Structure 1
Amino acid sequence: MSDDDNSPISARTAKQLFAALKSAPALVLAVSGGPDSVALMWLAARWRRSLARGPLLTVVTVDHGLRPEAAREAREVKRLAAELGLPHRTLRWRGVKPKTGLPAAAREARYRLLAEAARKAGASHVLTAHTRDDQAETLLMRMLRGSGLAGLSAMAGLTERDGVVLTRPLLDVPKSQLVATLRRAKIGFAEDPTNRDTAFTRPRLRALLPQLAAEGGDVRSLARLAGRLARANAAVEVLTDGAERFLRLRDRDDAPHGPAARSFEARAFAGLPEEVRLRILLRAIDALGHEGPAELGKVETLLSALDQALAAGPRAAANGRAILKQTLAGALISLAGGRISITPAPARRSRRDFKGG
């Protein structure tokens, strides 16, 4: 961003933010009523008016049914959308809410509803208002949870979900700029009290950011780190693609193939870098298992067991007897005859099965 972090976003900068979306048929804007999403709506509407032809914009607000103020905030978003000449829909997350893991469940419900709205509107993309601040907080959360390189890459600018592309055009924009933009335009916005509720992890980490900034770990530095990790992660993904092609070339003609099995020479696999081997296993387990996605820590344990089995059991591996057989995330992983094979695991038998129905 060339604009100062505390200055309103200029029309020129806004044009750059949305330039890649100019040829999209229609876009859905996810707007909750908070400053970030209201700024997204205002900037997108201004950008769209500057085009002779451009995508149709539809504003969607998701009411999670968790706060009594949410309905009023949705009505306010609808009013502002109408002033900007944009159609608006409010979608509600209905049903029983979980007692634990509520933020994650609400996020899943929100994205599901937004994807449904996009399909109905004929939109190719859903735009969310995640900012540089959100990126820094996400990186911190994942660091504390011990995420791998892919997780530490934090949020991507573009991700596909349920046949719709999630787009985060403001990911390199500080929240302070969005607030300054709304103040310059004299546009009001709501403040979600859950953003300050220390019962949740993200608000607790947000409160620590000033202390981290004093030590040099400000939002800009953390977001830059996430970007560098994303760059490294993309490079490892390319290496993993190449390693999978290498293993297929080394495959025997009589090895099991097809969508129901993956198999490769154990020794060729063992010669690959550890991170690449982990990703190959993750991909195979997630593709063939029926209880995924697999947890990184459990795949790390599996890889360690495979390495130990290869080191300790060359004779057993040579005579075809399985020296390792393990299920993980609904996939069956075995080492036998010098090969590693991943297939779908048999379905778990319920207690009713054992009782004869």
Structure 2
Amino acid sequence: MPDDDQSPISAQQAKRLFADWKAAPAIVLAVSGGPDSIALMWLAARWRRAMTRGPRLIAVTVDHGLRSEAAREARDVKRLAKDLDLPHRTLRWTGVKPKTGLPAAARAARYRLLAKAARTGGATHILTAHTRDDQAETLLMRMLRGSGIAGLAAMARESERDGVQLARPLLDIPKSQLIATLNRAKIAYADDPSNRDASYTRPRLRALMPALAEEGGDSRNLARLASRLARANAALEVLADGAERYLALRDRNDASRFGFDATAFAGLAEEIRLRLLKRAIDRVGHEGPVELGKLEALLGALDRAIADGQPRLKQTLAGAVIGLVQGRIHVDPAPPRRSRTG
């Protein structure tokens, strides 16, 4: 592991990490109590203290109610936040927890609660402590699921979620460097055993990382790959924007309806055709986002119908109806599903 991966983060480095958000009125810091998020809070507080004017920082801990230690860890975060002169809130995920898909449900609940805290506190941004290690693991998980280029771009440094900007200032920083930073500052942090629970996919992949690193697949190289794929994805989105304008995707007579000439559509590259279909379906559908595999199957059916001169085709996907009629592809909202009665 390179020496800088073991070096504490300096005040000057922290200034560069958070510089993009110095003009925000207020920022929510997502702090679970683990080393990554504790380092995020400590570094952000140090960065803010060095500024004459800057954003208000609000530390928020989400207690998912899944571990008995979580309440104590939230109290520990609150004590440290007080020492750093930061306000702190603990939010709880209440209600029945799902028996399957628990990590995804917990993640969705966490972001929902964080977004609510941001809106309540007048914050425009939520900062999370995702690291380079997290980025590498996310890339591997999505590779194994067969994700497309957009998915393999992994996590963005900044994106919108629930009406708030979600930012990840530590995405290029290895976890080892954050731990070194806390050790230098003599700051304690919690150890969540669920991070090693082999019943979940991410911990199983995490356990494989040392072996992958020996073959060159360390977090640095995997994160670099994600960054390159993000660059390619951004270029493809620009091409899709141009193709969308070229095809005049939106019908002038009906703002709720999307359509394009089938022959012109067929002449575009396959990846661009997929993206145009996805955009149209996600805009008008009510069961999205559309799955890539199903989208590819739909495109195949459309391509065959266009090539064979088939006059009509109609399919429903993700709450949208996709039809081929008289040489034109239309994408319209699907009628609501009828509920079954006994």
- Give the TM-score category using the shorter length: over 0.9
Give the structure 2 partner of residue 292 of structure 1.
288
For the residues of structure 1 that align with 2:328 and 2:246, how far apart are their CA atoms? Answer: 15
Q: Does the alignment pair 1:261 with 2:257? A: yes
1:215 corresponds to which residue? 215
Residue 284 of structure 1: CA displacement?
0.6
* Partner in structure 2 of residue 55 of structure 1: 55
2:323: which partner in 1? Answer: 334
Report Cα offsets for 1:62-87 as digits up to 9, x if no partner. 00000000000000000000000001
Match of 2:269 among 259, 263, 273: 273
| C-alpha contact (below 8 Å) 1:257/1:263 kept by paired residues | no
CA distance in 2 between counterparts of 1:3 and 1:117 reads 38
Q: Look up the match of 1:130.
A: 130
CA contact (8 A) 1:27 1:58 kept: yes
- CA shift in 2, pair 1:24/1:327, >3 Å: same
Post-superposition Cα deviations, 1:40-76, rounded to whole Å, max 9, x if no partner, equal: 0000000000001111000000000000000000000
Residue 82, structure 1, aligned to residue 78, structure 2: no
Q: What residue in structure 2 maps to residue 187 of structure 1?
A: 187
Q: Secondary structure at the match of 1:98?
A: coil
Could you tell me the TM-score, scaled by structure 2's length? 0.98
> Using the alignment, how far apart are the partners of 1:90 and 1:167 within structure 2?
20
Give 1:348 deviation, angstroms.
1.7
In 1, Cα distance between equivalents of 2:284 and 2:77? 43
**SS of corresponding position for 1:5:** helix
Opposite residue 142 of structure 2, the aligned amino acid is R
Whole-Å separation in 2 of the counterparts to 1:115 and 1:245: 33
Structure 1 position 256, deviation (Å): 6.5
Separation of aligned partners in 2, 1:198 and 1:190: 19
Which one has the largest radius of gyration? Answer: 1
Hey, what's the Cα distance between the residues in 2 that align with 1:83 and 1:258? 58
Verify the 8 A CA contact 1:133 1:174 in the aligned structure 2. yes
- Show the counterpart of 1:311: 307
**Which secondary structure state, in structure 1, belongs to the residue aligned with residue 4 of structure 2?**
coil
**Map 1:27-106 → 2, pairs under 5 A:** 27-106=27-106
Residue 169 of structure 1 aligns to a residue whose secondary structure is: coil
Aligned partners of 1:36 and 1:179 also within 8 Å: yes
Aligned to 1:158: 158
* Normalised TM-score (structure 1): 0.94
SS at match of 1:264: strand
Cα drift, residue 351 of structure 1: 2.5
Displacement after TM superposition at 1:192 (Å): 0.5
Q: CA RMSD in A?
A: 1.4
Q: CA deviation at 1:345?
A: 1.0
> What is the SS of the residue equivalent to 1:18?
helix
> Separation in 2 of the partners of 1:201 and 1:108?
17
- Contact 1:115–1:162 under 8 Å retained in 2: yes
CA distance, structure 1, for counterparts of residue 179 and residue 254 of structure 2:
53
Runs (4+) off by over 6 Å: none
* Aligned residues of 1:3 and 1:9 also touching (Cα < 8 A): no
- Alpha-carbon offset, residue 129 of structure 1: 0.2
Task: Find the aligned partners of 1:329 and 1:77 in 2 and give their Cα distance.
Answer: 41
Local SS of the residue matching 1:59 = strand
Partner in structure 2 of residue 111 of structure 1: 111
Q: Deviations over 1:13-32 (max 9, x none)?
A: 00000011111101100000
Specify the alignment match of 2:334 in structure 1: 345
Secondary structure of the residue that 1:325 maps to in structure 2? strand
- The amino acid that maps onto 1:294 is V
Gaps of 5+ in 1: none
Q: Is the 8 A contact 1:239 1:276 kept in 2?
A: yes
CA distance in structure 1 between the partners assigned to 2:111 and 2:67 by the alignment = 19
Q: Report sequence identity in percent.
A: 72
